[in-house]
Chains A and B, each alone.
Chain A
Amino acid sequence: MDTTGTFWMPPGNSTIAGDVDSLFYFILYASIIIFVLVVGLSAYFSMKYRRRDGEVGKTDGLDHNVKLEIIWTIIPTILVMIVFVWGFKTYMYMNVVPKDAYEIKVNGQKWFWSFDYPEGGNSVNELIVPVDRPVKLLMASKDVIHSFFVPNFRIKMDVLPNRYSITWFEAHTIGEYNLFCTEFCGKGHSEMIGKVKVVSQEEFEQYAEDLAFSGEGMTLEEFGAKLYIQKACVTCHKIDGSNSTGPPWDNLYGKEEHLADGSSVKVDENYIRESILNPMAKITQGYQPVMPTYQGILKDKQIDALIAYIKSLQEDESLINE
C-alpha cells in the first residue's frame, strides 16, 4: 500500500486507495501506449510524406483496409471492457458498508461541516476517526448540495438537502487529511475545508469523551472561547476588529448595530441568541445574509457560553454593565 503519494496521486491512506490507484495506473499506461502510437505515427508520416518543393501530383488511393479497421475497433473495445469490469468490482466494494462500521452523522451547510458522534459529542470542521476501523458516514445537508471529498481516502459523495447519502472508508494510517467540499455552494465554497484526523483507538475514545464535554470545570467565558474555535465561528467572525464574512466580535456587545433595513438594534443577550438561532431575522448593514442557523447544533449552555465570550471581548466596561 502506497502511503507516500506518487506523481499523479496523493498518498493513499484508506483501504480502497490501492485498488483505485491500480486501476488509474492501468488506464494511464494503456493510454500512453495508444497516445504514443497516434502521435508517433502522425509525426512519422508528417516527416516522411511532407510535400517537397514543386511537387504536384496524384497520391495513393488507399481508402480502407478491413483487417486494420477490425483490429483498431476490437482492441480498444477489449481494453475498455477490462476497465469497465475492474471499475465495477471496485465500485461495488466501495458501496457495500461493512456491518461493524462505526457510524458518524455528517452535516454539510454553508460553509462548514459538523459531525455528530454516537457518544453524544459533536465537532465542527474536524472529523475524528479511529484508525483501522470501518467508518460509515450518514450525510445530509441543511441548505444546498455539498460534496464530501477526502483525496487521501479516494472517496467523494454528494451531500444532499432532501435525503441521506452514505459513504464509508477505513483509514489505515494515523494522520491529518484534507476534507474538501467539491460541489459549488456559494461564497465560502473554497473555505469549506475541514480536516479528517485519524487517531488510535485509545486516543479516539478520549476525543469522543472530550467532544461530549459540556464545559464542566470551566468558566462560561472559557468554554465560549473554546466553542468559538471548535464550532468554527472563527471562520467568519474575527476578534481583532477586522471585517470578514460577518461582523467582528470584539467590542460588539452593548453597541448599537445598524441593520440592512435601516433600523438599528442594541447588541444584547437576546439579540445574540436570536442571531445564532435565526440569523436571517436581523441582518447587519454592510453584510450579506449568509449565516447558517445553529439551531440543533448548539445546546443552550453553549449559546450562553458564546454570549459570555462575546461580552468578555468588550473592552468598554460601561457597555457591559449598562
Chain B
Amino acid sequence: MNKIPETHYLNAKKGIWSWLTTVDHKRIGILYLFSVMFFFFVGGMFALMLRLELLTPTEMYIDSDTYNQMFTLHGAIMIFLFIIPAIPAILGNFVLPIMIGAKDVAFPRLNLLSWYIYIVGALFAVFSLVSGGADTGWTFYTPYSTTTSTAVISIVLGAFILGFSSIFTGLNFIVTVHKLRSPGMTWFKMPLFVWGMYATALIQVLATPVLGITLVLLIIERLIGIGIFDPAMGGDPVLFQHFFWFYSHPAVYIMILPGMAIISELITAHSHKKIFGYKAVAYSSLGIAFASFIVWGHHMFTSGQSELAAMIFSFLTFFVAIPSGVKVFNWVATLYKSSISFSTPMLYTLSFLFLFSIGGLTGIFLGALPVDIHLHDTYFIVAHFHYVMVGGTVIAFLGGLHHWWPKMWGRMYNETLGKISCLLIFVGFNMTFFTQFIMGSQGMPRRYHLYVDAYRPFHAFSTYGSWVMAAGFFLMAYYLIHSLFKGKPAGNNPWGALTHEWSITSPPPEHNFEEIPITEHGPYDYDKIVAKSTLVEN
C-alpha cells in the first residue's frame, strides 16, 4: 500500500502566515491554483449567463448594457485572470523546477511578488465589476473605449498590473532554465514541457510591455484628454488596434504554447513511448514564438489597413500554421507502437488532438483574405478561438492538472468520475461551439445581444451544450475536492513516468530533492527503462 510521507511541502510549515510569506515554488503554485480557479469559476458563470440570455433572439432577462458588460468581463477575466496565468503560474511553478532537478526557481521572492501583483490586478478587475462594469469587450477598441461612460479605467489598469505578474513569471523561468538545470540535464534532455514554458516565457517578457504601454496610453487619453487614439482629439483609432494586436497575437501563443507543452508530457507518460521528433517539437515551439510577433495584422483585414499589408500578413500567417501542424503530426506518430493507458489525462490528450486540430484548421480559413472578410467578427471567430483556447489550452490544462494532481496532493481522484467528466466536457464543448462555426459562416455577428430570428436554432443548441459542459465542470470540482480528503494515496509514480518529478515523494518534500539529482537518461526513454506504476497494487 502507498503511504503519504510524514512531512512534505504542504505540512512542513503551518499556519496561514506560512502560506502568505512562502517562497516555495510549489506553494506559490498552489496559491495560484486557488486564485486562478476562483476566477475561472467567475468567468464560467458569466459564460453560462450569456448563453442563457442568447437562448432567445429577444431580451430574456438582462438588457443590452448588462449583456455587453457581461461578455466584456467574461473575456477579460478568462484571458487575463485565467488562461494566461493558468499553466505557467500553476503547473509551471509547481513542476518546472522539479523537472530540471532544481530546488526552486531562480528568484523565489520575485515569484511570490508575482502572485501578489496578480491579486492586486484582480482586485482592480473586481472593482470594475462592482462599480458598474466595463462594456468595451476584452479588446478595448478605441474610440469606443475612450468615450464610453463605464468603468474602463479600473479594468484596464487591472490588465496593466496583471501584465507585470506575467512578466515576472516569464523572467523567472528563463533564468531558471538557463542557470538551475541539474548535472546532466542538457538542453536536449529537458522535458518538452520545459521547452514550451521557455518559449512562452520569451513571449511573456518581450510582448507584454507593449500591452502595458498601450493600456497606459489609453488611460492617459481618458484621464487627461491627450489625443492618441480618439479622432475627435486628433488621434487614430486604428493605431490602437495595431498596438493591441502586437501584444495580443503573441499572447495567443502565451496561451497555447503551454498547452502544447503539457500535451508532449501527457502523451508520452500515458503511452510509455518515446516522443516522435523531440527536436522538431522543441524547435517548433521557438519557431511559433518567433512567428507570433509578425502576424498581428491578420486581426485587421477589414480595418482599412493597406491591401499590401493585408497581403503580407496573410502570407506570414500561414507560416504559423506549419509548425503547429508538425507538432500535431508528431504527437500522433508518438502513439505508433506505444502502450496506451486510457487514464483521465490520456483522455484529455486525445480530446486535445481532436479539438485542437479543428481549432488549428479553421485558422486556415481565417488566414485566407477573402474568406476572412466574410467570417471576421462573426461567430466563426468566436468558435475558432474557443476551439484553440478551450479545446486546446484549457483541455491541456485540465489534462495536466489531472496528471500532476497526485503529485501535488499525494492523493488520487476518482478515475471513473474523471473519465465521465472529461466526456461530458468534450461532448458539451462540441455542442456549444461547433454550432457556432455554422451560424458564424451563415453570417451571425459576434457581440450581439439581440439577433435575427433565423439564427435561433443554432443559438438554442449552443446553449444546451453549455449546460452539458457545465455539468462536467461541476462534477470535476466535486471529485477533485473530494480527493483532497478521501483520495487513495498515489505513491511516487502513479503513471510510471520518467521525468524527475516522479522520482520524489508525493507530495514532494519541502526542498524537492535530498541531494541534487543527476540526469542520466532522456525524459522519454521508455525504450530503455521501465518505471513501474505505484498505482498497480501487488
Contact = CB atoms under 8 A, between A and B. Distances in A.
B371 A68 contact: no
A60 B326 contact: no
Given A23-B371, A45-B332, A178 B443 contact: yes
A58 B526 contact: yes
A190 B307 contact: no
B339 A49 contact: yes
Contacts of B403: none
Interface residues of B, number: 91
Contact of B353 (A38, A87, A158): A38
Interface in A141-187: 143-145, 147, 149, 151-152, 154-158, 160-163, 165, 178, 180-187
Give chain A's interface secondary structure class: mixed
Nearest to A245: B64
A294 interface: no
A161 B143 contact: yes
A5 B135 CA distance: 35
Interface in B339-387: 339-342, 350, 353-354, 357-358, 361-362, 364-365, 367-371, 373-374, 376-378
A84 B315 contact: yes
Contact of A59 (B274, B373, B374): B274
Contacts, number: 266
A154 B497 CA distance: 52
A83 B318 contact: yes
A191 B307 contact: no
A265 interface: no
A162 B231 contact: yes
Interface residues of A, number: 86
A57 interface: yes
A77 interface: yes
Interface of B: 64-65, 68, 135-137, 141, 143-144, 147-149, 231-232, 236-238, 271-278, 280, 302-304, 307, 310-311, 314-315, 318, 321-322, 325-326, 328-329, 332-333, 335-342, 350, 353-354, 357-358, 361-362, 364-365, 367-371, 373-374, 376-378, 438, 441-443, 445-452, 496, 526-530, 532-533, 536
Given A27-B365, A51-B272, 17 more contacts: A8-B441, A16-B370, A42-B332, A45-B340, A58-B526, A58-B530, A59-B274, A83-B367, A83-B368, A88-B314, A152-B443, A156-B302, A158-B303, A161-B232, A162-B237, A178-B443, A288-B65
Interface of A: 5, 7-10, 16, 19-20, 23-24, 27-28, 31, 34-35, 38-39, 41-42, 45-46, 49-51, 55-65, 68-69, 72-73, 76-77, 80-81, 83-84, 86-88, 90-92, 94-95, 143-145, 147, 149, 151-152, 154-158, 160-163, 165, 178, 180-191, 193, 288-289
